[in-house]
Amino acid sequence: MLVTIMPVSALNQPGASRCVLVAEDDREDAFLLLRALGKLAPDVKVVSALDGQEAIERLRQGGTKPNLILTDLKMPRVNGFELLSLVKNDPGLGSIPTVIFSSSNEESDLERANALGANAYHVKPSDYGEYMDVVKKLCAQYLAA
C-alpha cells in the first residue's frame, strides 16, 4: 500500500471539521500512523509532513489550523523538539495540542519535551494492538466530535 502525502489544501476541504498534522520522516512509521488514524478516525483529515521543516511550511500556509499535531523527534532539517518549540512559541499556533510520538524512551527526551510544552509524550509501541490503543486514546482525547 502506498502512503499518500496530502497537500495542505486538504485542510480546507469541505467537511473537514477536524484535522491532524503528522510530522514523521520514516515512511513505514508514517504509513502505520496514517492507517491507524484512517481506521480509528475516518472522518478526520490527515496532513502528512516528512520532517519538521515541511510541517512548519504547512502550518504557515494558512487555512484551517489542525486540531492536533503528532510529531516524531528525530527528523532531518527541523527535528521534533524544534517544531514543538516553534509551535508553542507562536501566538497563532501555541494553542494547538502537540503530541510527541517517538520511538525514544529516553528520560531526557521526555523531560525536554515537557519543558518545551508538549501536551503529551508517547513512545511508539512495537506491538500492533498496543499501538492502536495509543492512537485510539489520542483520537478520543484530542479529536472527539
Per-residue pLDDT tens over the stretch 36-53: 999 999 889 999 999 999
pLDDT of residue 78: 93
* Residue-wise pLDDT tens digits, 21-41: 999 999 999 999 999 999 999
Number of neighbouring beta carbons within 10 Å of residue 62: 11
Place of cell 501536551: 119
SS3 sequence of 59-114: HHCCCCCCCEEEECCCCCCCCHHHHHHHHHCCCCCCCCCEEEEECCCCHHHHHHHH
Domain 16-138 homologous superfamily, CATH = Response regulator (3.40.50.2300)
Domain ranges for the chain: 16-138
